[in-house]
Structure 1
Amino acid sequence: MTDRNDAALRQHLVELLKGGHAHATFEQAVKGLPEELRGKVPSGAEHSPWQLLEHLRIAQWDILEFSRGEEHESPKWPEGYWPKEKAPADEKAWDKSVRAFKKDLKEMIALVEDPKTDLFSKIVHGDGETVLREALLAADHNAYHIGQLVLVRRLLGAWG
């Protein structure tokens, strides 16, 4: 791959991770959600905004840490990826989860942008995964659940 193609691929991955071209961004999906609605599960939905936020955070963290090191141990599936509580303990818990998601997203982006990161080499402790695959997985997973968060907000009357 030429340097130009490598740089273009990395930039496309970053844009995909940040989101916002064909759908809402994470920031838009969590911004301004009233505290009293964060633990509500609307009729027809499976999860509250809190449960979706925590799932997004946990899954992205797991993908990032798997991509960075073999010492990482993933949570047990599926219970380790979904909070049992429908609502955050308080506003600080919500804010902490939002900050952690943003921090891990920045770190995933930094990993992708780092020219020392070989996007195509198999992750040593994996089963054939590459950093490219993990970045695509994070972007895809985030887009899916951010879309769910927007839908839940619509059902709660708290979108747009």
Structure 2
Amino acid sequence: MDTLFSVADATAALRQQLVALLTGSNAHQSFDDAIKNLPVDLRGVKPEKLPYSIWQLVDHIRIAQEDILEFSRDSNYVSPPWPDGYWPKETTPPDATAWDTAVAKIRADRDAFVALLNDPEQDLYKPFAHGDGQNLLREALLIADHTAYHVGEIIIIRRLLDAWPA
């Protein structure tokens, strides 16, 4: 006789899969893998015919993820203006501290979002009262999809700059 999962079991399994999607590499490289051992002098290089440097992509990931996190946990949060508020204008990080701070913030905000996902009081499916149909499940998928897209771009830039492991 087959055993059916309860709704609670199914939700717990979904939460585990979402956490793995946000923190692992599954079918793609992770954010941490994409920036690992990146030479400092290549962070701000914008290859010909490409619109962004790796720094701009990293800082964009930081801004967008922070926006999604804050929207998900604070009904009074106001998003930056689109698109200017989501992209740094400078191609190069101002200094090593700015790079380190952006990377640390990406990790911290990812961990904060994972904590939201793991909070049994948070309903994955219930639309936020302050949105237009968004829910925690949708926002988790949005972070994963958005980050994976830009991680791919980071890797392509690294390949173009001969800075990706063979």
Choose the corresponding residue for 1:32, options 31, 34, 37.
37
Q: Residues 91-134 of structure 1: CA distance to partner in whole angstroms, max 9, x if unpaired?
A: 11100000000000001111011111101111111001111111
8 Å contact 1:19–1:143 — kept in the other structure?
no
Choose the corresponding residue for 2:112, options 83, 96, 107.
107
- TM-score norm. by structure 1 comes to 0.97
User: Counterparts of 2:7 and 2:27 in 1: how far apart (Å)?
Assistant: 28
**Count of residue pairs the alignment pairs up:** 160
User: Counterparts of 1:77 and 1:63 in 2: how far apart (Å)?
Assistant: 13
Structure 1 portions without partners, runs of 5+: none
* Aligned match of 1:94: 99
Corresponding position: 1:77 with 2:82: yes
User: Counterparts of 2:24 and 2:83 in 1: how far apart (Å)?
Assistant: 25
Choose the corresponding residue for 1:144, options 143, 149, 155.
149
Where 1:39 maps in the other structure, the secondary structure is: coil
Identity %: 52
Choose the corresponding residue for 1:124, options 129, 151, 157.
129
8 Å contact 1:40–1:48 — kept in the other structure?
yes
Which amino acid letter does the alignment assign opposite residue 78 of structure 1?
Answer: P
**Aligned structure 1 segments of 4 or more residues deviating by more than 3 angstroms:** none
Where 1:89 maps in the other structure, the secondary structure is: coil
- TM-score norm. by structure 2 comes to 0.94
* Aligned match of 2:72: 67
Where 1:74 maps in the other structure, the secondary structure is: coil
User: Counterparts of 2:161 and 2:77 in 1: how far apart (Å)?
Assistant: 37
The alpha-carbon deviation at position 31 of structure 1 amounts to 1.3
Where 1:102 maps in the other structure, the secondary structure is: helix
Structure 2 portions without partners, runs of 5+: 1-5
